[in-house]
């Protein structure tokens, strides 16, 4: 395990009696509120004052009031960000001219304006006095996701960058990518976000794919040439710190997992983690839990039954979370795509040795995806349970991620056929290809965690819909179009009703926010806007708004047979 130098790590924000007492007193309903505050004095001064404060404390009954008073005297709202208008913002981006429907055209214009409400730049005081803030300074402006999320996040930024590129803000998109590159140069990897309390974990590794999309949009290979070493460093962090060897059917595989070993609760969810951990009998079990829940946060799916391992199944609770015990489909697909991109870029730069290294790594991931995770009999990929040595045969949208990354060797026709049948078998689409939900739910398990049924999340819609579309098979593309149509419809309805975009949606109620999990529903919202703009860009010339109940409209009059590789290209929407 590579040791990461957390140069900005502080006691107050990460591990101290002061933080423990404040978080456990529940002074703020959201634990994140305290760790986002600014110090009025140096850390050492505050810690000395707190030791004196505790010595003088007479009774526990006054603790809550006195703690509030202490916080008010020594901390203040961070106010680290300033409103920032991207210099390349345009009120009429070119994507609008690729949309024929007047309502969707106006919606795209409104979403373009939303970028200005999310755009921020970090104040110079954070650069001058980093010891007073939990926020880590980055040089360029960026777009926050929205709501309680007031910093630069890792995988959210992939869709934010794509949305900005579609709105012709290439300079802004490049600056945001450069912020992430600056974090990698500083810490050796991109953390969950640019807060000191996020330095113990990352998020799904999408930096290389961000750069790939930037290059596709700008043809600026010089940007790749200038940053190829940093992009390689980010990839190698995962290869060094997140890989595991295991055996299946007598063969040894080397694949990726989420694994964020560190002590103590997550600072931004301190009370929640601490209370769960103290259901365990001893400190060793508590430390294991802390690593497991941070690892689950690293997945981006915080949280889901996907990471529960109990009695060989997934019907548990947060006490049963064990993300390091699972080989995830999506992570290994991302790693395959990243390795392939690095191989392609290194050969163009002229380094055949490095190109071959990353080609070999890509092939190793591809072998694992095919031999370990693919189930031909069921027609999809499944996460692998390292503890029980078996597939986790549950529906999660992430199962289909290899279609999105192109991480498979079988013919596209075969992959499309199997995926469509899998969607039918799980009633995501019905036998007549009608669409059951207002967005595909993350799972079929109602665990009350936010990455489970009935919530539908924008990035997962992208994996499924764009994955089907990228097979270039007619039936798959028609289904992708109608799934996109439904997702656009529910998002548009929510925007019309509330004048806002949600972080996630309720797949059972068109236009309504999803719920559950550790915090209240959030609005904004960066990746939601990005995915919508991607769909409008792809299908804007075909989409028409109408009053029909889109998700109940059959895509074919009758389907009396199972789709096969012989007929998959011959189906036309009736």
Per-residue pLDDT, 252 = 98
CB neighbours of 169 closer than 8 A, spacing ≥ 6? 86, 88, 89, 90, 93, 115
Per-residue pLDDT, 562 = 43
Give, for 350, the enclosing helix (H) or strand (E).
Answer: none
503 part of the active site: yes
Q: Which of 36, 503, 512, 537 is catalytic?
A: 503
Per-residue pLDDT, 82 = 97
CA 506 to chain centre: 18
- Dihedrals φ, ψ of 252, to 5°? -100, 135
- Dihedrals φ, ψ of 191, to 5°? -70, 175
Adjacency order of strands within the sheet including 326-327? 326-327, 384-385, 390-391
- Give the Cα separation of 489 and 240 in Å (integer): 43
Give, for 546, the enclosing helix (H) or strand (E).
Answer: none
CB neighbours of 129 closer than 8 A, spacing ≥ 6? none
Q: How many residues does the chain have?
A: 574
Per-residue pLDDT, 540 = 96
Determine how β-strand 455-456 pairs with β-strand 384-385. Answer: unpaired
302 part of the active site: yes
- Give the Cα separation of 181 and 287 in Å (integer): 31
Picking from 383, 339, 381, 378, the residue whose alpha carbon sits closest to that of residue 361 is 339
- Structure tokens that stand for 483 in this block: 């799934």
Rg of the chain over CA atoms, in angstroms? 24
Tell me if the bond preceding 368 is cis, omega within 30° of 0: no
pTM: 0.94
- Give the Cα separation of 34 and 171 in Å (integer): 34
- Dihedrals φ, ψ of 248, to 5°? -145, 130
- Give the Cα separation of 362 and 247 in Å (integer): 19
Q: Which long-range contacts (CB under 8 A, 24 or more apart) does 419-428 make?
A: 419/379, 419/380, 419/467, 419/468, 419/471, 419/476, 420/468, 420/475, 420/476, 420/479, 420/563, 420/568, 421/379, 421/562, 421/563, 422/378, 422/379, 422/380, 423/479, 425/378, 425/379, 426/395, 428/395
Per-residue pLDDT, 7 = 42
Identify the residue whose tokens are 């940053």: 227
Per-residue pLDDT, 65 = 87
Per-residue pLDDT, 55 = 84
Neighbours of 142 (CB within 10 A): 31
10-residue averages of pLDDT along the chain (574 residues): 44 90 93 96 95 79 86 95 97 98 97 97 97 97 93 97 98 98 98 96 98 98 98 98 98 98 94 96 95 98 97 93 98 98 98 98 98 98 98 98 98 98 96 92 97 98 98 97 97 97 98 92 94 98 69 46 47 29
Per-residue pLDDT, 559 = 36
- Dihedrals φ, ψ of 391, to 5°? -70, 145
DSSP structural state of residue 443: B
First to last CA, the chain: 57
Q: Which of 15, 302, 330, 469 is catalytic?
A: 302
């Amino acid at each position: 395990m590579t040791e990461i130098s957390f140069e900005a790590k502080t006691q107050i924000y990460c591990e101290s009696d002061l933080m423990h007492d404040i978080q456990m007193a529940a002074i703020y309903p959201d634990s994140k509120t305290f760790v986002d505050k600014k110090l009025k004095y140096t850390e050492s001064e505050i810690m000395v004052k707190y030791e004196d404060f505790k010595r003088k404390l007479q009774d526990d009954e006054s603790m809550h009031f006195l703690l509030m008073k202490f916080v008010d005297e020594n901390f203040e709202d961070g106010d680290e960000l300033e409103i920032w208008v991207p210099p390349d913002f345009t009120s009429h981006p070119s994507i609008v001219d690729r949309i024929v429907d007047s309502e969707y055209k106006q919606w795209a214009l409104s979403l373009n304006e939303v970028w200005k409400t999310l755009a921020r730049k970090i104040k110079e005081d954070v650069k001058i006095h980093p010891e007073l803030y939990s926020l880590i300074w980055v040089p360029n402006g960026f777009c926050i996701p929205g709501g309680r999320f007031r910093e630069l996040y890792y995988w959210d930024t992939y869709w934010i960058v794509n949305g900005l590129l579609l709105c012709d803000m290439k300079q802004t998109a490049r600056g945001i990518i450069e912020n992430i590159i600056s974090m990698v140069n500083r810490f050796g990897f991109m953390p969950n976000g640019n807060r000191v309390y996020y330095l113990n974990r990352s998020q799904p590794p999408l930096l290389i794919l961000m750069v790939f999309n930037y290059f596709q949009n700008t043809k600026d290979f010089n940007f790749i040439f200038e940053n190829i070493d940093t992009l390689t460093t980010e990839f190698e962090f995962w290869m060094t710190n997140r890989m595991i060897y295991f055996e299946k059917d007598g063969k040894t595989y080397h694949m990726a997992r989420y694994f964020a070993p560190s002590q103590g609760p997550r600072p931004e969810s301190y009370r929640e983690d601490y209370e769960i951990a103290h259901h365990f009998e001893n400190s060793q079990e508590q430390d294991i839990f802390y690593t497991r829940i941070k690892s689950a946060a690293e997945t981006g799916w915080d949280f889901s039954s996907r990471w529960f391992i109990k009695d060989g199944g997934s019907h548990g609770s947060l006490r049963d979370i064990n993300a390091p015990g699972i080989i995830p489909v999506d992570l290994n697909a991302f790693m395959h795509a990243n390795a392939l991109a690095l191989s392609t870029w290194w050969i163009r730069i002229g380094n055949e040795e490095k190109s071959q290294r990353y080609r070999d790594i890509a092939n190793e991931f591809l072998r694992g995806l095919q031999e370990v995770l693919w189930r031909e009999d069921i027609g999809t990929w499944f996460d692998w349970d390292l503890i029980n040595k078996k597939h986790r045969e549950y529906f999660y949208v992430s199962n289909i991620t290899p279609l999105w990354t192109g991480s498979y060797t079988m013919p596209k026709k075969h992959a499309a056929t199997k995926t469509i049948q899998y969607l039918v078998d799980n009633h995501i689409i019905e036998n007549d290809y009608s669409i059951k939900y207002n967005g595909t739910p993350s799972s079929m398990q109602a665990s009350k965690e936010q990455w489970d049924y009935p919530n539908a999340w924008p990035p997962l819609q992208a994996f499924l819909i764009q994955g089907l579309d990228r097979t270039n098979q007619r039936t798959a593309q028609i289904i992708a179009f109608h799934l996109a149509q439904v997702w656009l419809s529910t998002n548009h309805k929510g925007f019309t009703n509330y004048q806002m975009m949600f972080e996630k949606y309720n797949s059972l109620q068109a236009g309504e926010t999803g719920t559950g999990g550790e915090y209240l529903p959030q609005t904004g919202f960066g990746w939601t806007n990005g995915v919508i703009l991607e769909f409008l860009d792809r299908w804007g010339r075909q989409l028409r708004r109408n009053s029909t109940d889109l998700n109940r409209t059959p895509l074919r009059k009758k389907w009396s047979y199972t789709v096969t590789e012989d007929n998959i290209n011959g189906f036309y929407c009736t």
